[in-house]
Structure 1
Amino acid sequence: MTIAFAKTTLPIIGAPMAGGTTTPELTEAVARAGGFPFVAGGYLTAEVLAPLVERMRETTDVFGVNLFVPNPVPVDREAFAAFVAELEPAAAERGVTLDPEPVDDDDHFDEKLDWLINHPVPVVSTTFNLPTDETVDRLHAVGSQIVATVTSVPEARVAAERGVDGLIVQGPRAGGHSGTADPTRTIEDRPTVDLVRDILAEVDLPVAAGGGVDGEAMVAELLGAGASAVVVGTLLLRSEEAGTAPTHRAALASGEFTDTRLTRAFTGRPARALVNGFVRRFDPVAVNAYPAVHHLTKEFRAAAKRADDPQDLHLWAGTGYRGADAASAETIVKDLGARFARQ
């Protein structure tokens, strides 16, 4: 069986960027270009996700839906309290009151999975943890393919053992959250192409690859290493159809921000962002506590967005962010993939 993301005209996948960045207009533009779109299911209820999927279904019959898989990590209450204490003065300046009690949730995973079982889609991708055997079996039973996000060779092996149909190989230079199944581990920097080669040497599954993609040359490099498609997210952040906040858009193009870093400061899970004041101040005291830190800082970050202040906002960006253009997503995808169009 051919993996669905290898059926598109262009070998380009639009990354599912949760939190409103991947809009229906963005997924439709990726589809029009001949790429493979993913509906971002993270942070949504099943009720909110449903119309987004149905709208996508009206556009193309080759698409996927991404889900966050629950991955509870015990919260070190003492370390969490210390982080709250560090953040409180800055929050008070923005008029935000912090809840000192850690908040947990499963991102409505079971409800969304149930909905997808009852309303099957071509592909379901998972991130933040590997899918269980039961999840894989349930999706296969309704005809959906399932692809798992992996960030290491051991994760790829386990995913293959559980019967997934393909892998999304996410290199450490990708923007936003790492999809690692072990958010407490230290993620070492390395080129995505090396990770792709290592995984393909161990696992016989089709892969898509992303992380640090900065243009057509890297697309060629990843395809040459054996990837069936290349995942782009950061390169779409400034596109006309993306839901990226104006403050975030401006920061990506600004000479003020010159580096990215993996940090747990914003959400308690490693995520790559432009280095700003928040990262410099709070990364040294950040804790492994997702989604507790995500909920803790949510209103603080929202206040920074309203104030148009990039220094306290989560400016997700991969290392290839300088390649992000202010253009139509359709044009961006075509420019990246046209030379590699499938026959």
Structure 2
Amino acid sequence: MYPATSKRLFICILAGLMLLTLPSLARAADTLQITDMTGRKVSVPLNPSRIVCLGPGCLRLIVYLKAQDKVVGIEAFEKRFPGGRPYYYATPALGKLPAITPGGVPAINNLPDLEGVLKVRPQVVFATYLQKAKADQLQSLLNIPVVVLSYGPFASFDKVVLDSILLAGRILGKDQRAQEVVKRLEGWQADLGRRGQEAKRHAGAYVGGIGFKGTHGLESTDPNYLPLRWVGAKNLAATQGKTGHLMLDKEQLLGLNPEYVFVDGGGLALVAADYDKKPEFYKNLRAFQEGKVYLLHPFNWYTTNLGTALADSYAIGKILEPEAFQDVNPAAKADEIYVFLVGKPVYATMAKRYGPLGSTPSFLKKAAK
């Protein structure tokens, strides 16, 4: 609940002063009527020069559009936990902007620090994971247009994220760039699908160590793991008859006994620590016996890092079906994707933090010595 009368009065005064110093929505000559991802009708200034982004993944989409120069403040969460997010690696200037609100998972569908937002005088507020009623409330309190974008369900590649890119591009005067981003994202996904169709059917695979509201060990998995699905791989977690994030127990994992195991870099430290404590369990898994355990980079970090998910999928394809992916160098492909989406080749930074994509995890290399 946002507090007392005096604080509300201060916010109203601050909002009023903002109207005197900015080309306000009410007086702007060039406005655009849009429908955001919640179905709200919002009137926004066309091609605003000052924006802020609230919620998981919101800032990422603006970087994809090459509109980060319009951002005037960011969530404190973005500054405190920059690792593993290529869009932040590629745009270090964002870290010098003022922190306007805490952000992070606890802030989802909650009001931000209204004073912090108003102080940077945005013309448009973009937000993700904000329900319709809350978005209306926020817009009313700020007297600034609030546009809700969406990624769809957690850890997914829902068409709604493409619609969000097109919508934000339309508002920001980045229509052509938005269309290019959508075309390339769909193109990479189609390429992965074609290679998967050409490839022979392969044995089942399992991905563990997936982050979900924190880090987890090998038992943490996803029956609908995007990079496996894009290459047509058989995800053994899908045989459990459940959807969404899944926590298996060790007996279930032994029952699956996958030929290939992929470890999400976000949970790598926990998997390594558990391996040191219970090596006999891991040595009973076929993939560990045969040396078919590989590292992936985490893409579920402040919601879906689309570029990393695509890079992971190419690395998986190269491992499972080398003939169909013989022309693919996973590191080079990752940088091709990153350069287009975020403007810089940041694969080396990701690899320094988590290890080379598709490599044998470091804890297994040490155990083999």
Give the TM-score of the pair, scaled to structure 2. 0.31
Between Structure 1 and Structure 2, the one with more helix by share is: 2
Select the structure of larger CA radius of gyration: 2
